[in-house]
Amino acid sequence: PLAMGLATTFFKNKFTKQERETGKAAYPLGAFFITEGAIPFAAADPARVIPSMVAGSALAGMLTMLFGIGLRAPHGGIIVAPLVEGGFMQIVLYLVAIAAGSILGAIIVGFLKKDLEKA
């Protein structure tokens, strides 16, 4: 959902007004790892949205492993950031992984979707 929020913000010409409004709601949902914020986008354009989200999630997961992030919480998002094991720097790296995955997902969606005028 964070990626879709970013995509609707930075690639406005690729989304309808309603989708851009839905993208605003995706920010808080994504911050708490509530994936329902991405469902309307995935349902409307699965061939572009789902692979983009998979790529962003894969990057975030890879960075989390690379950074050695330990988190025993069964759910994620910013609310569990204080539970990241290893201190302040590990928390920062956890947030970096989330941001990197979200940005990559947004960029891929932005490149794959056509401008509304060209669609």
**Which band of pLDDT confidence, cut at 50, 70 and 90, is reported for residue 74?**
confident
Let me know: does 91 contact 64? Beta carbons within 8 Å. no
**Confidence at residue 76, expressed as pLDDT on a 0 to 100 scale:** 81
pLDDT at 118 over 70: no
Give the Cβ contact number of residue 38 at 10 Å: 24
**Confidence at residue 77, expressed as pLDDT on a 0 to 100 scale:** 87
